[in-house]
Structure 1
Amino acid sequence: MSAEEVGFVPDDDGRGGVTVMLGDTPQSHVDPGDPTHLVFDYVQYFACVLQTLPPGPLGVTHIGGGGMTLARWVNAERPSSPQIVLEPHTTLTEAVRRELPLPRRHRIRVRPLDGRTGVGQLADASADVVVLDAYAAGRVPAELTTSEFLAGVARVLKPGGLLLANLADEPGLRYVARVAAAARPSLPHLALVASVEVLKGRRFGNTVLVAGRAPLDEDELLRRVRRMPFPAGVRGAAELARMVQAARPFTDADPGMSPPPPPAKGWRVR
């Protein structure tokens, strides 16, 4: 499979799930028959956070589409939710639409735009949630984690809205700390969700940074995270404040990509 070739690897358990591949890198896992079946850990973290929000439809903007796993989950769990997906990789979007069609009567609109351009075109206070899940060659693009860009995300969020960012990092979480420091001026209430192994610095892995203007319901989030089928935890606002205290925020003048992922041979397609 070439670096940019889109592939679909069926699960071997007979349930009908498919892993969407871009080159050798898994992009998403989609179960067309059950959009609430989430496999990747960070997508389950997203769901835990969204379940803490009041019931009813949510206006969600996704920066990065992939197989649109989370958009499908929101459509199933929060019917009639208006959603925008910013995905510049048109070949990927076309392949996903062809092989894994979106459900009927959805309100998911895909725009072939990069995150920076797409967010810049959104209206003020137009989203309940902005989900940052954009990767290029396995790394988060530097322009999507600067103070300036995250201030733009804050602009499009409603007063009680949340940013959820999927960030991969090495032990020590220095990259995550710099992103959190960049978000804090505009979205000061922070939390971090990850596996216990990642939080304890035992391995490279994905985290979900949660940021908003209003305090988060950390107790409810922790309760939901503890129900997950694998050990995961939450770093709340107080812990995260200490973590980012000495971190230098990313800016447009001083940006940085996330650390490179482990070798492709190390990925396990489930």
Structure 2
Amino acid sequence: MTSSSSSSGSEHRSPVGTPRSVRLSFSDQIASIEADEIVGGWALSIGGIEQSHVDLEAPTHLVHEYLGRMAAVLETAWPRRQPLRIAHLGAGALTLARYVQVTRPGSAQVVIEIERELPDLVTSALPMPEGTDLEVVIGDAREELAAMAGRRFDAIVLDVFSGESSPAHLAATEFYREVLGHLESDGLLLVNVGDDAGQRFLAAQVRHLEDAAAAEGVAGVWTLTHVSLLETPADGNMVLLAGGALASPEVEDWRAAWLRAGPHPAAVLDPEETMRAFGR
């Protein structure tokens, strides 16, 4: 894999979004950005399936539930508006990167994306907020992160999974250990896991992440999700957390804040509850 970097902010700026589409070279699927006629804003679809949503007028408006839960975690784990160093493994429409720029100006962000054409499609159709400091790296998430030897982040967001069809070399204990090794001692890994009703892939990721956290000597695994997915397993997304930040004496206060923030009805499981639910 080759990699490249660029800064996105004032480039390709326009006052409104622009419908665009492109064929992605890695997956050979069509990625398209179209106006969302139902909730407003813009939707990124890949292969005809919506992947991300962006509201250019209100970047803190997060339509997808898992992003709302991730945003709540970022809001509590660090002081308000403190700039962060964040790596996003998987770009999507850069929805969370936009949120971070608006809520924590001055944050230094990097995104690793395997689809070479996707970041340009997104930033040309949906310009990033003014002043965004965003480095774009094209390549495999594991390979490119390994190339960043010695580089540390406050938070790493892993958003590359799609159930049991996910890349096996990323859905593994060894990769989680490598990712955790790029965090500051009080850093945090946030993982979006989408799965089908059987939740077999999710359960496997819980075990892998728990093993990695134990090996790296950091706290884990917390789970944030919709209550219904715990009561009646169905297709959906859950957010897994691990990292030194979770050893904070304030973590129970954070838990209460995550429950209040929703989206509702929300469920937040601590490591013991997570392993009881998914450690099978």
Q: 2:235 aligns with which of 186, 198, 204?
A: 204
User: Structure 2 CA distance, aligned partners of 1:191 and 1:136?
Assistant: 20
Q: 1:40 aligns with which of 47, 55, 64?
A: 64
Please state how far the C-alpha of 1:96 moved relative to its aligned partner: 0.8
Please state how far the C-alpha of 1:207 moved relative to its aligned partner: 0.4
Q: Which residue of 2 aligns with 1:242?
A: 276
Per the alignment, do residues 135 and 150 of structure 1 end up closer, same or farther by CA in structure 2, a change over 3 Å counting?
closer
User: Structure 1 CA distance, aligned partners of 2:115 and 2:166?
Assistant: 15
Please state how far the C-alpha of 1:12 moved relative to its aligned partner: 2.1
Q: Which residue of 2 aligns with 1:110?
A: 136
**Aligned: 1:8 with 2:40:** no
Q: Which residue of 1 aligns with 2:106?
A: 80
Per the alignment, do residues 227 and 30 of structure 1 end up closer, same or farther by CA in structure 2, a change over 3 Å counting?
same
SS across alignment from 1:206: strand
**Aligned: 1:128 with 2:164:** no
Letter matched to residue 215 of structure 1: A
The 8 Å contact of residues 226 and 263 in structure 2, kept in 1 or not, is answered as: no
**Aligned: 1:228 with 2:231:** no
The 8 Å contact of residues 206 and 279 in structure 2, kept in 1 or not, is answered as: no
User: Structure 1 CA distance, aligned partners of 2:185 and 2:146?
Assistant: 18
Letter matched to residue 112 of structure 2: L
Letter matched to residue 234 of structure 1: V
Q: 1:60 aligns with which of 56, 68, 86?
A: 86
Percent pairwise identity: 33
- TM-score using structure 2 length: 0.80
Unaligned runs of 5+ in 2: 1-20, 214-218
SS across alignment from 1:144: coil
The 8 Å contact of residues 125 and 158 in structure 1, kept in 2 or not, is answered as: no
Spell out, residue by residue over 1:88-134, the C-alpha distance to the aligned partner (whole angstroms, 9 max, x if none).
21222221121011122111111112211121122336101110111
The 8 Å contact of residues 69 and 258 in structure 2, kept in 1 or not, is answered as: no
The 8 Å contact of residues 48 and 221 in structure 1, kept in 2 or not, is answered as: no
User: Structure 1 CA distance, aligned partners of 2:202 and 2:107?
Assistant: 30
The 8 Å contact of residues 199 and 233 in structure 2, kept in 1 or not, is answered as: no
Unaligned runs of 5+ in 1: 247-270
User: Structure 1 CA distance, aligned partners of 2:42 and 2:131?
Assistant: 22
The 8 Å contact of residues 162 and 193 in structure 2, kept in 1 or not, is answered as: no
Please state how far the C-alpha of 1:244 moved relative to its aligned partner: 4.8
SS across alignment from 2:181: helix
**Aligned: 1:190 with 2:221:** yes
Per the alignment, do residues 200 and 87 of structure 1 end up closer, same or farther by CA in structure 2, a change over 3 Å counting?
same
SS across alignment from 1:184: helix
User: Structure 1 CA distance, aligned partners of 2:150 and 2:211?
Assistant: 18
User: Structure 1 CA distance, aligned partners of 2:206 and 2:186?
Assistant: 18
* Pairs aligned (count): 245
Q: Which residue of 2 aligns with 1:164?
A: 190
Please state how far the C-alpha of 1:201 moved relative to its aligned partner: 2.6
User: Structure 2 CA distance, aligned partners of 1:135 and 1:96?
Assistant: 20
Letter matched to residue 243 of structure 1: A
